[in-house]
Structure 1
């Protein structure tokens, strides 16, 4: 797992291992009140008493709240953390776990007493928070305060802890892929990482290079990658459930894999390029999700497609006014080369519709600044052709801590992508000013009549600062909600 912190669980009391660790963390319920399961163990350890200490610190037991005090245990001093768990919901416990991880940075070993009534789902979320907030990505030396080397949870619910660790590991894979600088991260590099991860995760993989893409009619991927000296790739990962005799629903996940987006000849300003190494965050989320399917025993057959290309200006780059023929024959007029993500997704969606016969088709992409303006940095924009699919994804987002907000596929806006010379245009015209909706309408043209959903994650895929389980840089958004939706052991 990319997170360096080792997470394990043991069945015992706080003091069984307290003398061997640097930090012990004990839960506090909203109120505040020491979790009754541990109140007796803390009696007499503080000059003030635990309740008086919480009152002195004006603690309320809210999730993410931590009160610390040093304790002398034997010959050493151990830091005791009283951490709030709020209402004890999975969301609150995920946030509580993240707070402990941040307070435990720089330590070798942290022991954590888990809330007594957490349940398996709550413990899995707690483990997610601990590990996701422990994530670091650096090129060069280690951080000044690295994550704790080891975190021990005092619980016998090993399966729940393992599930949370698996989900957090998949998120970390997505973060690593998206955070890797684009100097290293060519489409070929991304394909090689997918091959390595597939071998480790029990997946099959097929990589189409530029010659196969050209011969196969993937005109959008070829056109977007034409300006770079590093040619495009189409990554196809396949997961088959362990019980192949049972009929399995087939889902196709499609991710935007633009390994760097300069805007092409429609060049972005410098400030807008600084985060463009993460423009393949949707593709990274698909790869991260795929790596966890077997470990979580997902009962659904899943194909993951990542359309990978580098969008750069050069003499061979696509130009405004060009017409592209996509997989399956639909043509699109390029009015802005910086609207490139939809061009590569179009090929992958059309291929999935024509060749893979999915029961549901879901794409995820950092597609439009309009979605970020509309919904900010925490919600992804959801577009769907079926209410039932939309409801499933909305529920999965709420349960996993990666919320979505459903947006309309407004039919009146469809004329915005009419073209004088091609079937459709790649950006809207006519003053509709609905960039995210128009982009979704463009993608819908390539999905047939299938159950399809589009996740525009330009806001939540990146973060400018740490907050709870979110770390600065690529967030890995989408992995948790997709795993929850696919049903991996109730992930």
Structure 2
């Protein structure tokens, strides 16, 4: 990641970035007044200044000046400058620590490029000239910058993992990446199950059975001393999804390297919790498999026995995500008994039909938990909309030969959540269906084209709010 640091000494050789708001000097104020919507969040206006220093000024719109607006300004600034251009951002005197956090997150997230991409990643340093001289404010700014960097690193990791082609990213490779990341951080433990160790994971074995790359089950744990709350995060980890025997059409298959976006998000959030030293026990569970077509692929009509001993009739091998999540949830309920469980999964195409490309669906029977997660998402800049967990649809999951079927006509997001509901046990729970917002077709503010890392920001906000009883949006 490129460097962002505070400075006390202006440098006229750097490109100056001026947030558009009250208190501008007469020249900047005149430039802003001459530009339509110059204060709109995410709007950048470029003014060359030949024969003067600095030789270029960027006006960055910050709107009402809340964290989201500063995040938009930061992302737009990162994209407006050349990759190696040194930027110097002049903060107004009334800039809050939340604004600094938003600005820094926007700069880092907007400046992201996939490591094997054709666009150069930002390398030029960003210097922030603080308008505050108060030492308390300076300390708060530094804390905000640290938190922003931790979140950005988590999102970058989630994006990198999701953007990696499936020709590289099989279950074994992804499990190895998790082990490597955990090894660099004290206090984390990793367990990887494979082969005969997966005997009870019937859904995972069935989904992964048609691939030459066998499945894995990874448990990543952050357990700080004195933690009194245990949160389990479960992420769908299908490294590529052909649809299996119920094969997808070509257009539906070409982005299926992103079908492990949920696993990437929960791993990134758990690593971030360790980096922030959060006093919350966090366990990430990632069932990893490639849903391929082969002689050993599972078939429509097969009956699968899950970790908890219950059975599912496979009526559509392209509804595989819920089958692997069911095993992970059964394992969590039986072996971990957490205080609450959150699933994050690129689970249904119906997510995009219902809510469009930018919004994840949230389903939970727990109003308080749903409200806290929604508040965390709003603060983090990830859009969430709660859908009803309509229990009267559950009868459509009935099977004549098993405890349930895995796919049925009806409201797809809701039906998938109702399927999963059986496996959470007695824990409080919430489920995110984030298939649509896991991928961006073009650069859009803090989202870079490709994988978005959706969920890592929301989860880290929520987990941080459990530290000391803060509100989830704090």
State the match for 1:46 in structure 2. Answer: none
What is the alpha-carbon distance in structure 2 between the residues aligned to residue 464 and residue 53 of structure 1? 33
User: Is 1:170 paired with 2:154?
Assistant: yes
The CA deviation string for residues 376-396 of structure 1, in whole angstroms up to 9 with x for no partner, is 111110011211111111111
Q: Is the Cα contact below 8 Å between 2:362 and 2:370 reproduced in 1?
A: yes
Deviation at 1:457, TM superposition (A): 0.2
The CA deviation string for residues 151-174 of structure 1, in whole angstroms up to 9 with x for no partner, is 112234222112111101100000
What is the alpha-carbon distance in structure 2 between the residues aligned to residue 248 and residue 73 of structure 1? 62
Kindly report which structure 2 residues correspond to 1:16-415, keeping only aligned pairs within 5 A, or say none: 16-19=10-13, 21=14, 23-29=15-21, 35-36=22-23, 39-40=24-25, 43=26, 49-71=27-49, 78-139=55-116, 142-143=118-119, 146-155=121-130, 156=138, 157-202=141-186, 203-214=188-199, 217-241=200-224, 244=225, 246-415=226-395
User: Is 1:8 paired with 2:9?
Assistant: no
What is the alpha-carbon distance in structure 2 between the residues aligned to residue 105 and residue 288 of structure 1? 29
The CA deviation string for residues 320-347 of structure 1, in whole angstroms up to 9 with x for no partner, is 0000000010100000000000000000
TM-score normalised to the size of structure 1?
Answer: 0.90
SS of the residue corresponding to residue 419 of structure 2 reads: helix
Change (3 A) 1:235 1:73: farther
What is the alpha-carbon distance in structure 2 between the residues aligned to residue 151 and residue 50 of structure 1? 20
The CA deviation string for residues 304-329 of structure 1, in whole angstroms up to 9 with x for no partner, is 00110000010100000000000010
Question: Runs of 4+ in structure 1 displaced over 4 angstroms?
Answer: 488-491
Q: Count residues with an aligned counterpart.
A: 458
What is the alpha-carbon distance in structure 2 between the residues aligned to residue 410 and residue 170 of structure 1? 34
RMSD, aligned α-carbons:
1.6
The CA deviation string for residues 59-84 of structure 1, in whole angstroms up to 9 with x for no partner, is 3411111122123577x662111111
Q: Give the unaligned 5+ runs of structure 2.
A: 131-137
Deviation at 1:248, TM superposition (A): 1.6
TM-score normalised to the size of structure 2?
Answer: 0.93
Deviation at 1:24, TM superposition (A): 1.1
Deviation at 1:459, TM superposition (A): 1.1
Deviation at 1:57, TM superposition (A): 2.2
What is the alpha-carbon distance in structure 1 between the residues aligned to residue 217 and residue 41 of structure 2? 42
Change (3 A) 1:158 1:448: same
What is the alpha-carbon distance in structure 1 between the residues aligned to residue 80 and residue 456 of structure 2? 25
Deviation at 1:54, TM superposition (A): 2.0
User: Is 1:473 paired with 2:470?
Assistant: no
Q: Is the Cα contact below 8 Å between 2:157 and 2:268 reproduced in 1?
A: yes
Q: Is the Cα contact below 8 Å between 1:104 and 1:148 reproduced in 2?
A: no
